[in-house]
Amino acid sequence: MNILLTTVFDYPHAGGLSTHVTTLKAGLEARGHSVDVVSISDASPAKIKMMAQGPSFVINKVAKGKGIIWSRKARQRILAQLIKEKVKTKKYDVINAQDTYATFASLESGVPVVSTVHGYMAFEAVSKGSVEEHSPEAKYLQEMEKKAFQTTRKVITVDQRIKNYVADQAGITATAIKNFIDINGFKPDSSNKMTYRKKHGVPEEAKMIFIPRRLTKKNGVIYPAMALKEVVKQYPEALLIYAGSGEEMGTIKKFVAENGLEKNVKLLGAIPHDTMKEYYAMTDIVLVPSVYSAGVEEATSISALEAMGSGSPLIASAVGGLKEIVDSGVDGILTEEKNVDELIEAILQLFGSKELSETYAVKARTKIEEEYSHLAAAEKYEAIYLEALKQK
C-alpha cells in the first residue's frame, strides 16, 4: 500500500507523536509498504506565522482560548493544501491522520482516512492553560474531537482508556493498539556506559537519574527535584538530568536554586531522539513521574517503553497507561503520583541494589520484545487500513 501519515503539528520534533510517526513509518516500510509524511513543517515558516501563530497570539490576548481554536483551524487549512498537492503526485491508498484537525484536513483529499488518537485534545488544552476549564472554547474542542471520531473510517487509540473516551464521546468503537518502539533502535548498550558519560560530561561516579520528558505539568517533572533534595543526603553524587523543554522549566530552576541543588541537576532542553539512546545507556535510573492533570492521564508512554527497551531500570507513577506497562516489583517500580516519599524510597532502593536494578532491566527488555515491537504494531495497523478500505 501507499500510505500517507499527516499531522497539523511539527514533524519531526521532540515529542511522543513525532516518535510514534517515525517508528510506525519504519515498521510499515519493513512490511513492504511505501510511507510518506506530510506535516505543518512542510509549509514555509512565514506562512505558518502569518496564518496561524500571529493571529492566534493576538486573538488569545482578547479572549483566552479563541487563539488556539484559530490556530488549529489555520493549520488545518494549510495542511489540507499540502495534502492536496501531495496526492496529485502520488496515488495513496489510505491516509492515517494523527490528530483531530489533521483528520479534517485529510478528509478534504478524498482519500480514505483512518485516525489515530493519542490523547484528549480539549482536556490537554485545559491542562496546559491554553483554554479555561468548562469554557465555550473547551466545549467546542470536545465537539471537534467528536466530529473527527465520527467522520473518519476507522479510529485507532494508543491505549484502552482513550478507546473508552472515544466510545463515551462519540459512540464509536475504536481499536486500541498500544504505543510501541523500534526494538532494534532502543536496546541495551551498557557496555558503552562510560564512553557516553565522558562524551556528555557526566562523571563516572555519578548516580544518574534521567527524565526524558517534556517539562509540562502533566509530566510531574517537579517531583524528582523534590525527591532529590533528600536523596543527596545519602548519595551526594546523585545527578538528575532532564531532557526536554516546556513551561515548567522555570519552576524547576527556581526550586533547584532555592535548595542549593545546582551541582546535582542538569537541564538539557530538548535533545535529538537518537541522542536519547546514549542517555538511556549511561543512566542508573529512568524516571517517568507523570501526574493526573485537568482530566489528562499519561497514555502508553513512549519514554517508558524506550527506557525498558534500552535496559534502563524504570520508576514511574501509577497513572494511566503506565500502570499497563509496568508490573511493579517485577520489571520496574510504580509509585503513587506526587508522592515524594515513595519516590525517594524507590530511588534509594535501586541505588542500593545493583542486582535488583539489573533484574528489572532484563525482565523489562523481555516484555518490550514480546509486547511492544514496532513490527508487530505495524502489522496491526495494516489490518485496520485494509478494513477501512472495505468501507464505503
pLDDT at 295: 66
What value does the mean pLDDT of the chain take? 93
Please tell me which residue, 50 or 389, carries the higher pLDDT value.
Answer: 389
Name residue 97's beta-bridge partners: 6, 115
pLDDT above 90 as % of the chain:
78
pLDDT tens string 209-255: 999 998 988 899 999 999 999 999 999 999 999 999 999 999 999 99
The terminus-to-terminus CA distance of the chain in angstroms comes to 18
Residue boundaries of the structural domains of the chain = 2-180+373-390, 190-371
Superfamily of segment(s) 190-371:
Glycogen Phosphorylase B; (3.40.50.2000)
- How far apart CA 280 and CA 272 sit, in angstroms, is 13
Same fold, 2-180+373-390 and 190-371: yes
pLDDT at 293: 76
Contact criterion met (CB below 8 Å) for 309 and 223: no
Would the pLDDT of 341 be above 90?
yes
Residue 43's Cβ-side half-sphere holds a number of Cα atoms within 13 Å equal to 27
The pLDDT of 335-362, averaged and rounded, is: 97
Pairing verdict, β 314-317 and 285-288:
parallel
Cell for 309? 527497551
Residue type, 190: S
Classify domain 2-180+373-390 by CATH number: 3.40.50.2000
Cell for 15? 515529542
Nearest CA among 43, 149, 153, 25 for reference residue 94: 153
